[in-house]
Copies of this chain bind each other. A is one copy, B any other.
Amino acid sequence: MTKPLAPGATIGILGGGQLGRMLSVAASRLGFQTHIFEPGANPPAGHVAARVTTAPYEDLAALRAFAESVDVITYEFENVPTASLDALEAIRPIRPNRRALAISQDRIPEKDFLTSLGLATAPYARVTDAASLEAAIAQIGLPAILKTTRLGYDGKGQARIMVPEDAPAALAAMGGAEAVLEGFVDFRFEASVIAARGLDGSVACYDPGENVHREGILHTTTIPARLTPSQRTDAVLLAARILNALDYVGVMGVELFVTDRGLIVNEIAPRVHNSGHWTQAGCAVDQFEQHIRAIAGWPLGDGGRHADVVMENLIGDDVARVPELARDRNTQIHLYGKAEVKAGRKMGHVNRVIRGIA
């Protein structure tokens, strides 16, 4: 157990997007300063940070100077090169740890790990070429979905295979990258658990949310999810099992398929998660502060909430609805300060407080 970081310390954040931005604000509430490392110019997180380094993730000299200037390193972006992480970790601790990062960077080790814990996942098989795809289809059946093993997010790098004739196009869509074929899961809905584990090993989970996607991107998260009491318990226990097995420190998003035969783990994200944004309106300690507390060695918030909330993402042109949304009673607006509106780009979100709860 390391000593807790004292207010005034500096937290380094790899990635300057909206998650880094909201982490930076949460860090400020606890009296910390932040230093953002981000390749792109004018990052959203830079508007609310004490310091920004603009450099590629491959610039080892810039990374070393960044690490020297901070007390602990965390990230909102999972695909930092291994050599860069090595350089950083030689200087300051990286939390969550490298193992969590490595596992979640590749869908196959991720599913192997989850399976090794006795958790249910969709059936899956590795695909590198037409022959292994044919074998995978034979093993798993159709319909199924082919996904690149790395660098996929928000529905990118995915292709559905409904009938065998779809296979060649799906394979071509992978662009030569290693892929995994996943069987379709017949689920009632998707839920997610935002779980946190502290430096002392304590675990706290927020009440699971129910997620609705549109075009592969999260659209809404509704709290509470329509889970039975035993599903709720299962969700929390399986999340804790994942975090403990990884000796994890920080917040993790665990996406679940809720089926008639129990919970199936879809994927894990070793960071604050879009489906946890509702905590900003419903909890004394939100997921961003929870993450900062964890990596700073502070006690975790208990995950309690005092409101039912619906979070809705503002994607692309949705942001034009802000003047109207600003008139909604009990609606909390969060815009990310992105200069350019693009189709499919997350521009902000709103949290609607449905009711306070005792």
Contact = CB atoms under 8 A, between A and B. Distances in A.
Interface of A: 4, 7-8, 21, 24-25, 28-34, 46-50, 281, 284-285, 293, 298-299, 302, 304, 306-307, 319, 322-323, 326-327, 329-337, 339, 348, 351-353, 355-358
Given A24-B48, A351-B284, A339 B306 contact: no
A30 B356 contact: no
A40 to B, nearest CB: 15
Given A284-B281, A284-B330, A28 B8 contact: no
Given A7-B337, A31-B335, A48-B48, 14 more contacts: A4-B323, A7-B322, A7-B335, A29-B333, A32-B337, A47-B49, A48-B49, A281-B284, A284-B329, A284-B353, A306-B306, A306-B307, A306-B353, A307-B356
Contacts of A32: 337
A355 B355 contact: no
A241 to B, nearest CB: 24
A304 to B, nearest CB: 6
B306 A330 contact: yes
Given A46-B50, A284-B351, A326-B298, A336 B4 contact: no
Given A337-B7, A356-B306, A358-B356, A47 B29 contact: no
Contacts of A50: 46-48
Contacts of A356: 306-307, 355-358
A337 B353 CA distance: 30
Nearest to A330: B284
A7 B329 CA distance: 20
B30 A21 contact: no
8 contacts: A8-B339, A29-B332, A32-B337, A284-B330, A299-B326, A304-B329, A306-B355, A355-B356
